[in-house]
Amino acid sequence: MAKLSRLTISVAAAAERKAIYRFRHEVYAHELGQHSTNSSGCLRDSLDDRNVYLVAKAQDEIAGFISITPPTRASYSLDKYFSRDNLPFPFDDWLYEVRLLTVLKPHRGGESAALLMYAALRWVEAHGGTRVVVIGRRELRDMYLWSGLEPLGLTVRAGAVFYEVLTATPRAWRRQMTRFGKLLDRLERKTDWQLNFSFHQATACFHGGAFFEAVGAKFDALDRSSRIINADVLDAWFPPSPKVLAALTDYLPWLLRTSPPTGCEGLIETIAEVRGIRRENILPGAGSSDLIFRALRQWITPTSHALILDPTYSEYATY
């Protein structure tokens, strides 16, 4: 690839979106012949009302852009060409569509396209998407495959341009990206990354249980526990109460044959008495991760906006 001049990656502002519509007309109507030219000199569609555009700028001039359609049960660009029943993935609240990868003529031949594609995939990953679908020009197929996208064997013609449908999950394209660590490091050094999430995926924090990867998930090698330092984030750093150990020991055979209260009534009552709070304000759960997944689905929707600090629970972004 040709040398990449320093680029800025950001979400397109209102004025930049207007310029993008003009560039779309210039590239997709005049240059590629996908659309007919029009007197306004602009191209846009109904998806632009909710699309996100990421823009690459060189010395404050637009070098390229890419469009992301967030989860919507109403319409994707894909719907213009294919029936959803014929596509091998669900149209759910975690499906993102990426399209309109465009690099303007003065900036072609470098790494701008790869950088824009990487930024779009990171956007999907950072916003909790579980699948990305791409309608990509056939000429850029190698670049899409480099990104870890897999072709579905579906093509469509729009004007004089042929497109191919590709898809991937964040895990799949992340696995592919690890093969190009040096390239990503080079892109990072030469990019002014102005998106509200990091260039690289945040390192996952272990939330209890990683300890058993070393001890043995089947509990068949518990003797190793005395030789392994337990550094899981949520595991208790203090021993249980001697009274608890004594009660468990005395009644262990009975406890093993008995199901615990499903509503945790005794626990709720004890916490309420000790802390001096009302019972209805107490929600027990199987750890913080369980409570996050139970609570967030009641508070936010796919169209909500949330600020996620890092490092924190990875479940926030996953949800």
Domain spans in the chain, listed from the N-terminal domain onward: 7-193
Q: How is residue 311 written in tokens?
A: 């490092």
Q: What is the pLDDT of residue 57?
A: 93
Ramachandran area for residue 239 (φ above 0: left; ψ -120 to 50: alpha; else beta): beta
Distance of alpha carbon 115 from alpha carbon 113, whole angstroms: 5
Return the CATH superfamily for domain 7-193. Gcn5-related N-acetyltransferase (GNAT) (3.40.630.30)
Q: How is residue 30 written in tokens?
A: 């005049």
Q: What is the pLDDT of residue 20?
A: 95
76 neighbors 60 (Cβ within 8 angstroms): no
Query: How does residue 147 score in pLDDT terms, banded at 50, 70 and 90?
Result: confident
Q: Which of the two residues, 146 and 269, has the higher pLDDT score?
A: 269
Distances (CA, A) of 216 to 105, 153, 230, 275: 56, 42, 13, 37
- Partnered with residue 98 across adjacent β-strands are 68, 134
Query: How does residue 3 score in pLDDT terms, banded at 50, 70 and 90?
Result: very low
Query: How does residue 41 score in pLDDT terms, banded at 50, 70 and 90?
Result: very high
Q: How many percent of the chain have pLDDT more than 90?
A: 32
Q: Is 185 helix (H, G, I), strand (E, B) or coil?
A: helix
Distance of alpha carbon 120 from alpha carbon 319, whole angstroms: 18
Q: What is the pLDDT of residue 234?
A: 56
Q: What is the pLDDT of residue 2?
A: 43
Q: State the pTM of this model.
A: 0.64
Mean pLDDT of 256-266: 86
- DSSP E strands in the chain: the ranges are 7-11, 52-58, 61-69, 95-103, 131-137, 150-158, 161-168, 191-193
Query: How does residue 202 score in pLDDT terms, banded at 50, 70 and 90?
Result: low
Q: Which residue has the tokens 């499906």?
A: 95
pLDDT tens digits for range 267-297: 899 999 999 999 999 988 887 778 888 888 7
Q: How is residue 50 written in tokens?
A: 């909710």
